[in-house]
A and B are shown apart, each in its own frame.
Chain A
Amino acid sequence: NAGVTQTPKFRVLKTGQSMTLLCAQDMNHEYMYWYRQDPGMGLRLIHYSVGEGTTAKGEVPDGYNVSRLKKQNFLLGLESAAPSQTSVYFCASRPWTGGLFNTEAFFGQGTRLTVV
């Protein structure tokens, strides 16, 4: 049981390049999230998904797109990378409990992205 796995762990991009970050979870969780973490800013929500085939915008969605074609995978895309997107990206997943109560979210180890 690997939990939440992010690929790649590190990446350097040139301005204008595109890339996709992959998040995979093996816990059969319905909810998945992408956060970015910048110094002094905590974690901010980029996009999220409440189930296979659904996605929605979070707090800071501009410049990113996402897809959830399979329940276990949540992809984060940067179509044209900018230096402002230099950050550490975290994926997380959370089970659905029928709306009765909330539980913890499980996080991946992060992807450190530098855009030059």
Chain B
Amino acid sequence: GESVGLHLPTLSVQEGDNSIINCAYSNSASDYFIWYKQESGKGPQFIIDIRSNMDKRQGQRVTVLLNKTVKHLSLQIAATQPGDSAVYFCAETPPNQAGTALIFGKGTTLSVSS
């Protein structure tokens, strides 16, 4: 079946560096994408989303890039802080998806050392 996946299971960075977390999706017709952050023992928390009619969206210290040509999504975190350490998931809503459910990738664990 079609699914969203992440390129790397783990990413380690130094405090203050910029982090880039990547995600590949397989359904070219998906029209909505979200990045979630999950801290240990907690539920996923919304970070930023992007619709398929956009190729870039910025939030506070985060930027999401969407490349529909190669079906690639990335999350950029500027000036990474220890509090950014968590598992990051990308998720998509394929068209005609039952109940508009989000389909999740496997996640990337970001570790930030000071």
Contacts and interface: CB of A to CB of B under 8 A. Distances in A.
A associates with B: yes
Interface of A: 4, 31, 33, 35, 40-45, 48-50, 56, 58, 90, 92, 94, 101-110
Nearest to A49: B99
Interface stretch (B14-22, B44-52, B63-71): B44-52
Interface in B29-62: 31-32, 34, 36, 41-46, 49, 51
Contacts of A104: 34, 46, 49
Contact of B107 (A42, A101, A105): A42
Nearest to B93: A102
B51 A42 contact: no
A44 B49 CA distance: 20
A90 B91 CA distance: 15
A97 B39 CA distance: 29
25 contacts: A4-B43, A31-B101, A33-B102, A35-B104, A40-B106, A42-B104, A42-B105, A42-B106, A43-B44, A43-B89, A44-B104, A58-B98, A58-B101, A101-B32, A101-B51, A102-B51, A102-B93, A105-B34, A107-B36, A107-B44, A107-B45, A109-B42, A109-B43, A110-B41, A110-B43
Contacts of A44: 104
B32 A102 contact: yes
Nearest to B1: A59
A101 B52 CA distance: 11
A50 B31 contact: no
A45 B100 CA distance: 11
Given A107-B45, A110-B41, 13 more contacts: A4-B43, A31-B99, A33-B102, A42-B105, A50-B99, A56-B99, A90-B43, A92-B102, A94-B100, A102-B51, A105-B102, A107-B44, A110-B43
